[in-house]
Amino acid sequence: MGNSPLGGVSPIVRRSGEMDKNLRSDVCTRLRCIEGHTRGIRRMVVAEAELREIIHQLNAVQGSIKRVKSILIQAYLSAQLPGAIEGKVPDDQSRILVQFVELLNSPE
């Protein structure tokens, strides 16, 4: 991917939190890769692969999922924070911070 902090994805997200088509495409591509990887892990289990190898592959999938989550959080915040920082709506800053903490603390 490119040099942007979002792995080459334009961080354009509408204020409502909806993704633009480039971000949506990147996330869908990453999720398809994760899906394929998990199918491969299932095949490893059926084939009675070494547990150490299965665990290694699960760690790889977990890392990929964390990256997708990180991309989405960054994109969401890049859309929400500018208005909150400008203080257009008094409660925006605290609302965005609460949402950010909730996103970070959501179960994996």
Global pTM? 0.69
Residue type, 16: S
Q: What is the DSSP letter of 19?
A: B
The fold of the 21-105 domain, in CATH, is: Methane Monooxygenase Hydroxylase; Chain G, domain 1 (1.20.58)
- How many C-beta atoms lie closer than 10 Å to residue 13's C-beta? 21
Across residues 89-103, what is the average pLDDT? 70
Domain ranges of the chain: 21-105
Q: What is the pLDDT of residues 57-69, one digit of tens each?
A: 999 999 999 999 9
Q: What is the largest CA-CA distance in the chain?
A: 58
Q: What is the pLDDT of residues 5-22, one digit of tens each?
A: 444 444 455 555 678 899
